[in-house]
Amino acid sequence: MSKAPRSSTTKKIADLSLNTESGLDTELTTNHGLPINDDQNSLKAGERGGTLMEDFILREKITHFDHERIPERVVHARGSGAHGFFQVYEPMARYTRAEFLQDPGAKTPVFVRFSTVAGSRGSSDLARDVRGFAVKFYTQEGNFDLVGNNMPVFFIQDAIKFPDLIHAVKPEPHNEIPQAASAHDTFWDFISLMPESMHMIMWVMSDRAIPRSLRMMEGFGVHTFRFINEKGKSCFVKFHWKPLLGMHSVVWDEALKISGNDPDFHRRDLWEAIESGAFPEWEFGVQIVDEKDEHKFDFDLLDPTKLIPEELVPVKRIGKLTLNRNPDNFFAETEQVAFHVGHVVPGIDFSNDPLMQGRLFSYTDTQLIRLGGPNFHEIPINRPIAPLHNNQRDGFMRQMINSGRTSYSPNSLSGNSPSQVAALDGGFFSYAERIDAHKIRARSLSFFDHYSQAAMFFHSQSVPEQNHIVRALRFELGKVETTAVRERVLYHLAQIDKDLAKRVADGLGVSVPAKIEGPPNMSIPADGDPKQFQSKRVKEMKPSPALSMANTIKGDITSRKVAMLMSDGFDEAAFATMKKALASAGAVPKVVAPHGGTLKGAGSNEVPVDVTLLTTASVLFDAVCVVAGAKSVKTLQADPAAIHFVEEAFKHCKAVGALGEGADLLATSQLAKNETIEAGIRSKKLVSEVGVVIGGAATASKVAAAFIEAIGEHRHWEREADDFVAA
């Protein structure tokens, strides 16, 4: 091959020095100019084998991605943390040798960090987003980090695509807009070209993405792990966290308003609950699959875009997590805590999930620059309680003072200390999985059903939940400006459920396309056939009731905030009865009034005002009760903010109560357009309909009981059919 003329070579170097890209028709290369043949799959030992360290393309891509933000976390930047403990219910020796899962009398210290994924540290808690759910167990065998989310699946199947996913959902680079939001072109462009994301999209567009509280959401380990017992026998395991308060959400309109009224809503809720002694609790659950059953399902256990329906493999609840102490210093603990999927203990090991394999590299790499170097494990919040002995020395921010002259192994000068620990004595060993495969960049054919579980999730939802998914998709895609992107997404939705796609399309004023074209370099299975981009739903899966939040725990109103709306001249006896009943049930009643200071009752007794209508909103409460008192209610009827407060609570399907003359405020509002409610307002008798409880002041105790029951339902979604409230 002849060399290029010197002048053209010089010109090419000069062009490169400008650091520009010439148009869109460019070849994909490494940072050193090497053309990349496959950017969709990491290099593995066989289609379903482990990712190889040899994959310099994966390592370069993830290393650059991990170091793109200084010093804020690239993802999961906005977080809240708390201390607590974990106790196992019964010994799990049959499945795992992990010591912290053996003694029901032992309390294992933990630190938990909850987070949003896409937004910066200054973003709102109520963004529509995945929530991180990371638990650091300080065990006697070292730290075990269960780094998961509040959703059991993920957008992508291979870690090599993680930088692309996050680049797509982050604010668009040309104008840094929008913050902490997925409703924009780049995110949906990526999603429309990655059909493997459609199951996760159903989750993110569902109510799971806007939880009422961090204390009221599930957690998942996402990946398939291994348990290994003392005999070296392995089984596959999926990890779950089940909240004892049940799973509850807010509605999207409410989330938008909470972000304006209190962007720290979730952070404040967690802090205040722990400070008040209402300690959040979750049960720790596992789904266990014998090795012999690895291939018995219609999906691949190694595919992180799939879950195991609980009806196929029930979740065995094996312990409980309790959070009982807030951090002393947010930065020192919540901000500096460093989690790592690779922090495991003897008895817990990895599978060949290609997303997990990439995370094993990424987590250490990102901490090196975020926390100043290789000694981030010496920061107090990250220190294990187990003794630490190794030959690692020096480096930035070193705090441990090591003695002795040797820092290598083997050695004879220090008696070969520290020495390896035999497996029989508790030393960690990796499961001896046989691998006999070609090095290859590809995915197993078992990874290419992208729609069946997405359809299962959608069909498992209650009617209100399905409606919310439709509205979420209309909102998100309504923000997308590029027609082709919307069409590709609608095509994928049609593979999940044709009626779902049509309803979304009708809201956008477009049609569902019958066919779309994908780019030529999409993820291709080992047989080289890229037809999966046009694939239909492979199978019908039965709905899984466990996936619907409508089937969650209800009735417990512990820590629920209830606005007691009143003014001067309130009925003191009715107020006292309702407040006592709410507090006895575990709720947190707050006096909300037109002005601050104190309120004088009809009998001249005074009560302090907790918050005024000038500084709060109904979206910050779980329910509202209008307290009796002719003078009090007359004042509220003349205040538009009070009327709006009640109407907005009704619109968001919350419990609304009215004692005695309090019903007159409801009569002033649009709630009176409901015939049943209007009849209750006129009769002043105890009426409980669609979460609205009305009754006389003389029967305050009965009204309180019905009101508490209504709050326990969390929301009364049947009201969503009533569009007459425009709050």
Q: Rounded to whole angstroms, how far apart are CA atoms 98 and 94?
A: 11
Known catalytic membership, residue 644: no
Confidence of residue 40 (pLDDT cuts 50, 70, 90): confident
pLDDT confidence bin for 535, thresholds 50/70/90: low
Catalytic residue among 41, 76, 240, 266: 76
CATH number given to 44-382? 2.40.180.10
Q: What is the pLDDT of residues 141-194, one digit of tens each?
A: 999 999 999 999 999 999 999 999 999 999 999 999 999 999 999 999 999 999
More confident residue, 681 or 296: 296
Instruction: Report the range of poorest mean pLDDT among 66-75, 198-207, 235-244.
Output: 66-75
Rounded average pLDDT over 321-330: 97
The string of pLDDT tens digits covering residues 287-321 is 999 999 999 999 999 999 999 999 999 999 999 99
Q: What percent of the chain has pLDDT over 90?
A: 72
Nearest by Cα to 621 from 593, 571, 597, 655: 655
Catalytic residue (one of 143, 149, 326, 674)? 149
> What's the pLDDT tens digit per position in 500-530?
999 999 999 999 999 887 654 455 554 555 5
Architecture of domain 554-721: 3-Layer(aba) Sandwich (3.40)
Helix, strand, or coil here: 66?
A: helix
Indicate left, alpha or beta for 177 from its phi (over 0: left) and psi (-120 to 50: alpha).
Answer: beta
Q: Name the more confident of 386 and 35.
A: 386
Q: Find the mean pLDDT for residues 232-253.
A: 97
pLDDT surpassing 70 at residue 66? yes
Q: What is the pLDDT of residue 53?
A: 87
Q: Which two tokens stand for residue 599?
A: 């309120």
User: pLDDT grade, residue 101 (50/70/90)?
Assistant: very high
pLDDT score of 715 more than 50:
yes
Q: How confident is the model at residue 4 (pLDDT cuts 50, 70, 90)?
A: very low
Provide the pLDDT confidence category of residue 2 given band limits of 50, 70 and 90: very low
**Angle subtended by helix axes 572-584 and 700-712, to nearest 10:** 40
Helices 463-478 and 498-508 cross at an angle (nearest 10°) of: 50
The C-alpha atoms of residue 657 and residue 677 are separated, in whole angstroms, by: 11
The angle subtended at Cα 217 by Cα 214 and Cα 218, nearest 5°, is 130
3-state secondary structure 238-289: EEEEEECCCCCECCHHHHHHHHHHCCCHHHHHHHHHHHHCCCCEEEEEEEEE
| pLDDT reported for residue 207 | 98
Asked whether the beta carbons of 159 and 305 are under 8 A apart, the reply is no
CATH number of 451-550: 1.20.1370.20
pLDDT of residue 13: 37
Flag whether pLDDT at 17 surpasses 70.
no
pTM of the model: 0.91
Q: Indicate the helix (H) or strand (E) that contains 693.
A: strand 692-695
Question: For the chain, which residues make up each domain, given as ranges?
Answer: 44-382, 451-550, 554-721
Alpha carbons 603 and 632: distance in angstroms, whole number: 12
One-letter amino acid at 161 equals K
- In the prediction, which pLDDT does 529 show? 54
Whether 149 is catalytic is: yes
